[in-house]
Amino acid sequence: MHISSLEQMFVAGVMHRGVITCPPETPLASVARTLFENRIHAIFVAGEWAREGYEEMVWGVVFDTDVVRAAGEGNLDRAAGDVAHQEMVTVRPEAPLSEAVAVMSVQHLTHIVVVDAPLEPVGILSTFDVMGVFGSAR
């Protein structure tokens, strides 16, 4: 399958729908358990909290790689809100899959957040989702 074939497909048809959330004070050890039990790579941090450089951050995301990094540093007792990324790379469900793949490729991302019209997370598009498209192509 060539990238031009992806122009006929949309993010909505490939993405992993739904989001799992946690409050900002959730310890990363609990985040790790949730990620493992649900076989997912990201959890959204929902709620209002303050962190240096940010005011009233409502949404953030913690990826599995953030948890692994914290574990390597011996910091699984840190709160999800302390490591959550507010500045997320996003895509809309109606976007052509080719655009999302291009962004993921250029920015070296394994996941991209899918948002709806009010910019609320509605799912994740991962490299595994994209591999499913390539793997099913003949």
Strand order in the sheet with 42-51: 21-22, 42-51, 54-63
> For the domain that residue 94 is a member of, what is the CATH number?
3.10.580.10
What predicted TM-score, i.e. pTM, was given to this entire model? 0.78
For residues 65 and 47, give the distance between their C-alpha atoms in angstroms, rounded to a whole number: 22
Per-residue pLDDT of the chain (138 residues; tens, 9 = 90+): 555 566 689 999 999 898 899 999 999 999 999 999 999 889 999 876 565 555 555 678 999 999 999 999 999 999 999 999 888 899 999 999 999 999 999 999 988 999 998 778 899 999 989 998 887 754
Strand partners, 62: 43
Number of domains in the chain: 1
